[in-house]
Amino acid sequence: MGGGGYGRRPLALAALAFLALLLLFILLMMPKGGSPLLWGARQPLIAASIEVEGRGSVSANGTLLRSWNSTKPFKLRLEARPEKCWAFKGWLVNGTPYSAEPNATLLVKGNTTVKAVFERLRYRLLFASNASWGLVAVNGSVVEAPYEVEAPCGSLLYLTLLAGSNETHGFAPLGFLVNGSFAGKPLELRVYGSANVTALYRVETHVLAIESNAPGAKVLVDGVETLLPVRIQRPRPFTAYIQAPAFIQVNDTFAWGSPEIQELRYRWGLGYVWVTLAPSSASVRVNGTASVRVLYRPTYKVGSAYVTWDPYYSRYQKVEGSTLVSTPRGHIFDFSLILPENWKTLKLRLEGKDVGGATVYYPYSWLGGDLYAEREARATVQFGTCDFVAEYTVVRDPPAAHIRVVSCALEVSVHDDYDVSGPWNFGEGMKQYLGRFICIAGGAYEVRIYVEVSG
């Protein structure tokens, strides 16, 4: 056993000697002032990472590397390039705004996160309309012009015009104008900038204008009392039914009577002329513009009746009791009678001074007939210039009539081809008419009408 221990001693001494040499080497190689606690420590790495928010590309020091590290501080030369429809907003360094310039230099001294922020461009679209109506469907959502919206760059908008109408106008879609250029309908609009979009409509309106020569006259239009003049508008062609009162009392001696509903129509060779539709009620078709007038005749009380005439052919002068005195305009004196409700017999005397020729018509009923389609019982004189007298006697029940004509003191035969059995009147109260009388009085300077009514 003693010999074995002696043999291991040289090995132990050799190990101690090696450890001593190793310790000496470490001490010699350790930096000055170093601590044995830092023996084996390494220099720390400085790391930088690059992130992107939005759509765009980023380069650092001319490369696309997103991760950088070093044991020493280092610089990054940064460059940002936005994609189409995007804009560079700025750099964030560890969440803090650093620079708004796309090209920037950053000194990295510690671990750093760099983010390039891109934002999508948005453009303003202004919607307008050439009409008071302007409904546009934008991607299915209906908006009313004028309207303003912001849309992302590159987005696709589907635009559709919506037809419609209000009480007076109709609106038919034509298409869109985009920045002044026609773009049709419907429209797919890719947004790459601000735009002015105009909705184009064909505006449709149909107008009926009704007037009257009787101030303050009221008529029924489709059953609704309407003060004249009036302008009626509809969005579509329409038919209006007009009813004019036959008699408008103004005061004890004057009224408006014998209405004619007339429409302004074009006649070749004549231009626009007033055409009579009916005496007191008519349907008017309006497709575009129609002008209608309700022409009344001035009406004066003569005895217990009223005498009314066409002011185009004659003018009023005065009433002398039961006689009306007038002067014709030109060669025609045209008048009608309105009788009281309870009339039974009428005596009428028509006198013309210095008449060169005359035709007198029997009274006739307007009920169900054309105003100017009268059948006539006429007395015609064509010789000389003298006084002319026509006397009528009309009985209401049973209906009967008699006419006697005297010209130049000579009785003239009457051509009686008219059914004198009536009916002579229609309506109620002061709406009762006794036909129409016409005296073609060539050169007459005075016409006198004497009326006697018994009831």
Residue 421 within any structural domain of the chain = yes
Encode pLDDT of 192-220 as tens digits: 999 999 999 999 999 999 999 999 999 99
Cα–Cα separations (whole angstroms), residue 84 to 23, 81, 120: 67, 10, 9
Least confident of 152-161, 296-305, 307-316: 307-316
CA angle 100–105–108, rounded 5-degree value:
115
> Which pLDDT band, with edges at 50, 70 and 90, does 278 fall under?
confident
In this structure, the answer to whether residues 225 and 83 fall within a common structural domain is: no
| Cα–Cα distances in angstroms (integers) from residue 161 to residues 127, 136, 151, 198, 311, in the given order | 12, 5, 19, 10, 54
Q: Which residues span the domain enclosing 101?
A: 46-120
Tell whether 197 and 321 lie within a shared domain.
no
For residue 173, pLDDT over 70 is answered with: yes
Q: Can you give the pLDDT at residue 377?
A: 45
Co-location of 321 and 446 in the same domain: yes
The CA–CA distances, whole Å, from 215 to 290, 295, 315 equal 21, 11, 18
More confident residue, 108 or 318: 108
- 53 in a domain, yes or no? yes
Residue 69 and residue 48 in contact, taking contact as beta carbons nearer than 8 Å:
yes
Of 154, 176, 202, the one marking the end of a domain is 202
Query: Would 38 be classed as within a structural domain?
Result: no
Looking at every residue in the chain, the average pLDDT score rounds to: 80
pLDDT (0 to 100) of residue 26? 53
Query: Vertex 56, ends 54 and 59: CA angle to 5°?
Result: 125
Q: Say what the pLDDT of residue 314 is.
A: 66
More confident residue, 53 or 348: 53
Report the C-alpha gap between 275 and 247 in whole angstroms: 21
- Average of per-residue pLDDT across 290-318: 81
Mean pLDDT of 418-432: 43
Looking at the structure, tell me whether residues 372 and 407 fall in a common domain: yes
Q: Same domain for 75 and 142?
A: no
Omega within 30 of 0 (cis) for the link into 44: no
> Which of 275, 301, 327 is the endpoint of a domain?
301
Residue 298: name the closest of 335, 329, 349 by CA. Answer: 335
Q: How confident is the model at residue 24 (pLDDT cuts 50, 70, 90)?
A: low
CATH of the domain at 357: 2.60.120
Check whether residue 102 and residue 210 sit in a common domain: no
- 22 in a structural domain: no
| pLDDT at residue 84 is higher than 90 | yes
The span from the CA of 271 to the CA of 265, in Å, is 8
As a whole number of angstroms, the distance between CA 60 and CA 67 comes to 10
**Which residues make beta-bridge pairs with 106?**
76
Does the pTM exceed 0.75?
no
Measured at the CA of 260, the angle between CA 254 and CA 266, to 5 degrees, comes to: 140
Residues 329 and 284 placed together within one structural domain of the fold: no
> Are 221 and 264 within one domain?
yes
| Nearest-angstrom CA–CA distance, 345 and 328 | 27
Q: Which of 120, 153, 176 is the last residue of a domain?
A: 120
End-to-end, the C-alpha distance of the chain in Å comes to 180
Do 347 and 389 reside in the same domain of the chain?
A: yes
Residue 315 lies in a domain: yes
Contact 356, 330 (CB under 8 A): no
Same domain, residue pair 312 and 270: no
158, 60: one domain: no
β-strand pairing of 206-212 with 289-302: parallel
**455 occurs within a structural domain:** yes
The pLDDT assigned to 85 comes to 95
Q: Output the CA angle 150-156-160, nearest 5 degrees.
A: 90
Q: Is the model's pLDDT at 102 over the cut of 50?
A: yes
SS3 letters for 397-433?
CCCEEEEEEEECCEEECCEECCCCCCCCCCCCHHHCE
Same domain for 377 and 394, yes or no, is yes
DSSP SS3 for 331: coil
Better-predicted residue by pLDDT, 13 or 362:
13
In total, how many domains does the chain have?
A: 4
